[in-house]
Structure 1
């Protein structure tokens, strides 16, 4: 089990060093009053975005949820702060999803 945790940690650190949007904090894995063990995950909601966090042996790391890129000009990305996800919809009719596939990064 211990080697698996080390591999997970190395993969996590590699991800965070390659993405400028992710961040790492040394210390206990605490979100509000809840404490997490190594491997624990939680989501943090903000007004304009959400972050997924993971507890690792030496602290915790958080990254923003994936967001849409390469959106057609006829479409727009709308952030749903209650569900922590983006909806890509038509600009002329926001109740209709964009028909063209969209890529996500994050």
Structure 2
């Protein structure tokens, strides 16, 4: 039952954020660094990093830009797509039994 709930929540959140990007402008007192909005780490201008939330981010002279590392509309008949937080790739589970993968 817990697996079904988790898969349902992840599927819903996946539907809301296909390949989304966002930009956060630097504050005046930033002193040439971007602060990661998720974990608070500091990154110098020109750097690039991956977050634990499957985002790829860049610190630019005017702010921080992040995009999802997975993307696109994913549809496999009879399956539900879920982003694996370890690999940041889609995994597919059967609609009629979310505990079973569509592909082994």
Report the TM-score, using the length of structure 2 for normalisation.
Answer: 0.52
Tell me which of 63, 66, 71 is aligned to 2:67.
63
Deviations 1:2-38 (A, max 9, x none): xxxxxxxxxxxxxxxxxx9321112231234542223
What's the C-alpha RMSD, in Å, of the aligned pairs? Answer: 2.8
- For structure 2, the residue ranges without an aligned partner over 5 or more in a row are 1-18, 27-32
Cα pair distance change 1:84/1:66, threshold 3 Å:
closer
Contact 1:44/1:51 (<8 A) preserved:
yes
Deviation at 1:81, TM superposition (A): 1.5
Report the TM-score, using the length of structure 1 for normalisation.
Answer: 0.51
Paired residues, number = 74
- Structure number having the greater strand percentage: 1
Cα pair distance change 1:23/1:36, threshold 3 Å:
same
- For structure 1, the residue ranges without an aligned partner over 5 or more in a row are 1-19, 98-106
Correspondence for 2:42:
35
Correspondence for 1:23:
22
For the residues of structure 2 that align with 1:75 and 1:68, how far apart are their CA atoms?
A: 16
Contact 1:67/1:86 (<8 A) preserved:
no
Q: Is residue 2:73 matched to residue 1:74?
A: no
Deviation at 1:62, TM superposition (A): 1.0
